[in-house]
């Protein structure tokens, strides 16, 4: 089995990770918004589920970011406009980076608030710093800005996928679903 991406195609691992991370990212956005704007009674439970999934997405995405930066990237399909290729690749790098940075910031936010991150099995992540209100406020603001920038990038990314599939009618989305495409 091809373990790494090449200039000709994505490895099955990249494809599997892409869709697992897409599902987890949807959960992170929904649970983060519910924790922030939902009823106060359910907040602690939502933050708990949000942080457990955050640890999982962080581990998978750290591997993915390393693989993305250390492998060749498959060539785009067809003959796209170079500006569009640059924009879509920059957005994809941002999307690969966000699920690594947002969990680190979430961990910092929780540590600064003096709240422990408890995982199933009773494992408690060590606090990154001592409780500190100023750091907590900055980390919370960065989490908000980062999460909304991530959602904007994701909207652009999905718009690109829809355009490739329905307007340009090429195999870009099918290749991300595992189809072998001859370039
Ligand atoms: C419904 C949601 C999504 C759709 C339809 C979608 C679609 C696609 C497609 C078609 C490609 C291949 C582009 C190419 O051939 O160059 C791609 C690549 C990529 N997507 Fe998505 N995507 C979605 C969600 C996400 C999410 C949530 C993330 C990140 C958290 C993400 C990150 C990436 C990255 C980093 C790449 C480049 C390949 C890689 O390094 O893994 N995508 N996506
Ligand atoms: C890919 C990873 C993550 C994404 C996409 C994400 C997304 C979000 C979003 C959209 C919100 C709502 C923000 C707002 O409207 O103010 C939020 C809130 C929150 N997130 Fe995350 N998050 C991630 C990882 C984490 C992790 C790993 C933790 C903790 C370890 C965490 C802790 C929190 C907390 C405590 C809140 C509530 C903040 C408040 O009370 O205002 N997040 N997150």
Would you state the pLDDT for residue 65? Answer: 96
Would you state the pLDDT for residue 8? Answer: 87
Tell me which residue has its CA closest to atom 11 in ligand 2. Answer: 32
- Domain ranges in the chain? 12-174
Compute the half-sphere exposure of residue 129: CA atoms within 13 Å on the CB side of its CA. Answer: 16
Tell me which residue has its CA closest to atom 24 in ligand 2. Answer: 103
Largest Cα span, the chain: 55
Hey, which of 82, 157, 160, 162 would you mutate to test ligand 1's pocket, going by the most ligand atoms within 8 Å of its Cβ? 157
Question: Residue 75 CB: number of other CB atoms within 10 A?
Answer: 13
- The confidence band for 1, taking pLDDT boundaries of 50, 70 and 90, is low
Would you state the pLDDT for residue 144? Answer: 98
Q: Is the CB of 110 under 6 A from ligand 2?
A: yes
Residues 98-155: tens digit of each pLDDT: 999 999 999 999 999 999 999 999 999 999 999 999 999 999 999 999 999 999 999 9
Residues listed for the chain: 183
Would you state the pLDDT for residue 182? Answer: 80
Q: What is the mean pLDDT of residues 70-85?
A: 90
Angstrom distance (rounded) from CA 124 to CA 119: 6
Q: Which of 58, 40, 154 is nearest to 106 (CA)?
A: 58
Q: Is the CB of 50 under 6 A from ligand 1?
A: no
Would you state the pLDDT for residue 183? Answer: 75
Burial class for 47, CB neighbours closer than 10 Å (0-12, 13-18, 19+):
buried
Chain centroid offset of residue 59 CA:
11
């Amino acid at each position: 089995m091809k373990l790494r991406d090449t200039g000709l195609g994505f490895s099955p691992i990249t494809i599997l990770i892409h869709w697992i991370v897409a599902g987890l990212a949807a959960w992170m956005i929904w649970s983060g918004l519910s924790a922030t704007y939902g009823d106060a009674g359910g907040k602690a439970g939502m933050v708990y589920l949000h942080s457990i999934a955050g640890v999982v997405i962080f581990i998978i995405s750290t591997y993915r970011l390393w693989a993305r930066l250390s492998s060749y990237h498959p060539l785009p399909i067809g003959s796209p406009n170079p500006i569009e290729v640059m924009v879509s690749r920059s957005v994809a790098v941002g999307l690969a980076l966000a699920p690594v940075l947002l969990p680190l910031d979430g961990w910092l936010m929780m540590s600064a608030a003096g709240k422990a991150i408890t995982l199933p099995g009773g494992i408690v992540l060590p606090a990154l710093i001592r409780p500190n209100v100023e750091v907590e406020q900055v980390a919370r603001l960065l989490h908000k800005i980062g999460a909304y920038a991530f959602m904007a990038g994701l909207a652009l990314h999905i718009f690109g996928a829809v355009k490739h599939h329905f307007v340009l009618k090429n195999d870009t989305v099918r290749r991300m679903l595992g189809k072998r495409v001859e370039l």
